[in-house]
Amino acid sequence: MNKPIEFYFDFSSPYGYLASTQIDALANRFDRTVIWRPFLVGASFKLTGRKPLLEVPLVRDYMAHDVERFARFLEIPFSLPEKFPIAAIAASRGFYWLAEQDPDLAISFAKRVYHAYFAKHQDITSSEALADLASSLQIDRDQWIVAVKSQAIKDRFREENDRALERGVFGSPFFIIGDEAFWGADRLPQVEQWLSRDGW
């Protein structure tokens, strides 16, 4: 049985977005499933004392250029939104609510959220904007709005974040295959080699 690729990402992470456009095709080439796991990378910053790279002098200018160049390299639409970063709590909760019913639908939703934010600069934080995105996938709008605010899904998302920290996930994107962890969209070539050779 091939181990799945666990794909941790923050909806506010540009490099997470880049990886989200690549991970399914990569997994398919090696007959792997991908378990998508949105989380809030900010929670790890308390433990690590780090800041978002796009708030760090010198690094900020480089990163803004690097991520746009990386997107052009992958030939995907991207530019850094004016309103950045954002807290993607509601989108993440909605994702887990969907995933409990239909994991593939949840992944389609995640892709629409990322595309809306990084390709079209749409809001992905308000309940209304997210309900619109959900509706476009034939998800019931009223059910959605109730579900995302439920205590059950808030608890579920908190557990996911706690579990991510316990597992040492401190950046987005972050990939775990069995016991092997890879951090960063730039590690995708090594993830591919890892699957191809079954490690090295």
Query: Shortest gap between Cβ of 82 and its own copies (angstroms)?
Result: 23
> 3-class secondary structure for 53-109?
HHHCCCHHHHHHHHHHHHHHHHCCCCCCCCCCCCCCHHHHHHHHHHHHHCHHHHHHH
Count Cα atoms within 13 angstroms, Cβ side, for 145. 9
The Cα-based distances of 135 to 64, 71, 132, 140, 147 in angstroms read: 32, 28, 5, 6, 14
Query: Shortest gap between Cβ of 83 and its own copies (angstroms)?
Result: 24
- Using the minimum distance from each CB to its own copies, give the nearer residue, 70 or 84: 70
For residue 175, give the 3-state DSSP assignment.
strand
Query: Shortest gap between Cβ of 136 and its own copies (angstroms)?
Result: 32
Which residues in this chain contact its own copies in the complex, by CB under 8 A? 44, 47-51, 56-59, 61-62, 65-66, 69-70, 72-73, 168, 170-171, 181-184, 186-187, 189-190, 193, 200
- Using the minimum distance from each CB to its own copies, give the nearer residue, 62 or 140: 62
- Using the minimum distance from each CB to its own copies, give the nearer residue, 30 or 182: 182
Query: Shortest gap between Cβ of 167 and its own copies (angstroms)?
Result: 10
Q: Using N-to-C axis directions, what is the helix angle for 151-166 and 89-101, rounded to 10°?
A: 100
- Using the minimum distance from each CB to its own copies, give the nearer residue, 56 or 146: 56
Per the DSSP assignment, residues forming a β-bridge with 176 are 6, 181
Query: Shortest gap between Cβ of 161 and its own copies (angstroms)?
Result: 14
Please tell me what DSSP assigns to residue 20: H
User: Please, are residues 10 and 40 in contact by the beta-carbon 8 Å criterion?
Assistant: yes
Query: Shortest gap between Cβ of 13 and its own copies (angstroms)?
Result: 16
4: left (phi over 0), alpha (psi -120 to 50) or beta: beta
